[in-house]
Amino acid sequence: MYNPMGIKHLGGTMTFDGDPVVGATRRARHLAQWIDPSWRSRSSADRNVAGDLSGILGPYLLSERIHLTLAGDTLVIACRDRASATEIRFLQREIRKNLQATGHADIDKVHVLLAHRPEHRPTTVEHPRVMPATAVQALQLAAARVDDPGLADALRRLARLGA
């Protein structure tokens, strides 16, 4: 019996004994038996497609700007940014040719979409602006010596804001 995520459930709890490093591959094989075979084949097919398209999409895959998924006869390429999505759309024909040449004849369509992920944006912290007393005095002195009344008023206002 498999749950909706494709994991076999028998009830109870599973425990593993032994050294975690020595028994790692044995445990991985052991865990694989609990996963529905159709799900295992789907994930291995995704890996095979990514490997076969590494010649075209290698830089995108390495920088994790795209993610590939198979949905039936459609290869879905989720892009992190608009620029990558636009570039991949222009490469769709080459991607389909490559898939046909590498034995993925069952993949008929390529769907490129923009995956919206919330980006972490640092919050800006307001720092109070403090004007040194010497700068305030310099502005007041400059306002007293300037002949232009508009400039003198502006320098006085600036000096009052800093005080």
Is the pLDDT score of 44 beyond 70?
Answer: no
Quick check: 2 pLDDT over 80?
Answer: no
Q: What pairing do the DSSP bridges indicate for beta strands 74-79 and 66-71? A: antiparallel
Range of the domain at 8: 1-35
Is 86 a member of any domain?
yes
Give the domain CATH number at 91.
3.30.300.130
Residues 23 and 74 in one domain: no
Higher pLDDT, 9 or 70: 70
Q: Are residues 93 and 156 in the same domain?
A: no
For residues 28 and 59, membership in a common domain is answered with no
| pLDDT above 80 for 129 | no
Say whether both 146 and 84 belong to one domain: no
Instruction: Tell me the average pLDDT across 42-57.
Output: 73
Whole-number pLDDT of residue 65 = 87
* 24 domain residue, yes or no: yes
pLDDT at 162: 76
Q: Judge whether 128 lies within some domain.
A: no
pLDDT of 122 strictly over 70: no
The span from the CA of 97 to the CA of 29, in Å, is 35
- Please indicate, yes or no, whether residues 75 and 62 belong to a single structural domain of this protein: yes
Residue 45 pLDDT exceeds 70: no
Within this chain, do residues 105 and 49 fall inside the same structural domain, yes or no? yes
Instruction: Give the chain's domain count.
Output: 3
pLDDT, tens digit (0-9, with 9 covering 90-100), for 91-117: 999 999 988 888 888 888 899 998 876
> Higher model confidence: residue 91 or residue 32?
91
State whether 24 and 51 are in the same domain. Answer: no
Give how far Cα 48 sits from Cα of 43, 52, 77, 117, Å: 9, 6, 15, 26
3-state secondary structure at position 77 = strand
